[in-house]
Amino acid sequence: MAERKKNVTIRDVAKHAKVSVGTVSRVLAKNETVKQPLLIRVNQSIKALGYKPNLAARALRANKDQVLGLVLPDITNPFFAQLAKEIELEASRHGLAVILASSFDDPKKEARQVHAILDRSPTGIIVIPAADERVFKKPDHVPIITIDRPIKSESDGVFADQESGASLAADHVFELGHRNIVYISGPEGTLVSELRQRGFKNRITELCRDDPSFRLEIRSGLFDYETGERVAREVLSGDSKDRPTAIVAASDQQAIGALREARDIGVTVPSELSIVGFDDISLANIIVPRLTTIRQPIEAMATMAVRRVFDLALDEQELDVSCKLIVRTSTAPAPSSNT
């Protein structure tokens, strides 16, 4: 055996084995969730470095609850609430309690929440970023997994395929004969908004490139009900001949806001106007008419994020983060007088 180095820490072992500190801890605790290849690799690193665990410190940690931190931009957002529920369910299967915090879409508050959770010695932290750029430095000793919203400076994380999901909405309204379309984007300058807008715009433009009647108007705002109401009011209040026959929104909240405003104006959905959302929140299948939308793979994303905290292997089904078109009753063929 190699000569033991002085002050070898669990972080040194994790770095040598190219795993997280949490994985090394589970190997030392003889946790059965660690897969055999990782177990062998960690034990080889322990032997190579001559690491000797601090038994007193381990005993102290054993008396503490294992926790997983979860930082959301806005807990009142139905999509984030559903994602939080699935993460908590998956975490509980691994014996973890979840500490939930909200950043209120403020990167500085996000950093403060992460640092506060780190003081609790969590097994890991899952973060839905408040912005496209991170304002805190990721620690070496605790895995921080980014989910749902990509970070421009990082390629690692758990994300649905936003572009291809938005292209499914383009395929749907095109096949229904809609050529006068309004797309409601999310906040300008955010990566998720850019990806969804690009996916929809590129696909619908490609499909309609030879159609002289094609018209696409893009409006933007927040991912909230008020934005959907405002845009619908702006584009539906004029001459009925110029009205769009379809509104495609970058979120279900926007789409539901647009649907509500259309009803107030007196525009019937879907016979006069089709509306498509994005996310498939629970409310999408409750409102009338029920919302056609793009479903994000919430369960798969939650499973992947928690499993990555533990460096656990994932099967092919769990790795599928593709979006799906869910057709309900808010879409119909375009009115013949507008096609």
Q: Which residues are within 8 A (CB) of 278 and not within 5 positions of it... i.e. 6 or more apart?
A: 165, 166, 169, 196, 249, 250, 251, 252, 255, 293, 294, 296
For residue 324, the model assigns a pLDDT of 97
Fold of 65-146: Rossmann fold (3.40.50)
Distance, in Å, from the CA atom of 85 to the CA atom of 75, rounded to the nearest integer, reads 11
Under CATH, which number does the domain 10-61 receive? 1.10.260.40
The predicted structure's pLDDT at residue 6: 55
How far is 124 from 126, CA to CA, in rounded Å? 7
* pLDDT confidence of residue 65: 57
| pLDDT in the model for residue 59 | 46
Q: In terms of CATH architecture, what is 162-296+320-338?
A: 3-Layer(aba) Sandwich (3.40)
- CATH 1.10.260.40 location in the chain: 10-61
Q: Name the least confident of 105-109, 196-200, 274-278, 314-318.
A: 314-318
Choice between 46 and 204, residue whose per-residue pLDDT is larger: 204
Q: Quote the pLDDT of residue 155.
A: 67
Burial 56-81, CB ≥16 within 10 A → b, else e: eeeeeeeeeebbbbbbbbbeebbbbe
Identify the weakest region by mean pLDDT among 84-88, 245-249, 303-307.
Answer: 303-307
pTM of the complete model beyond 0.85: no
For residue 54, what pLDDT is reported? 58
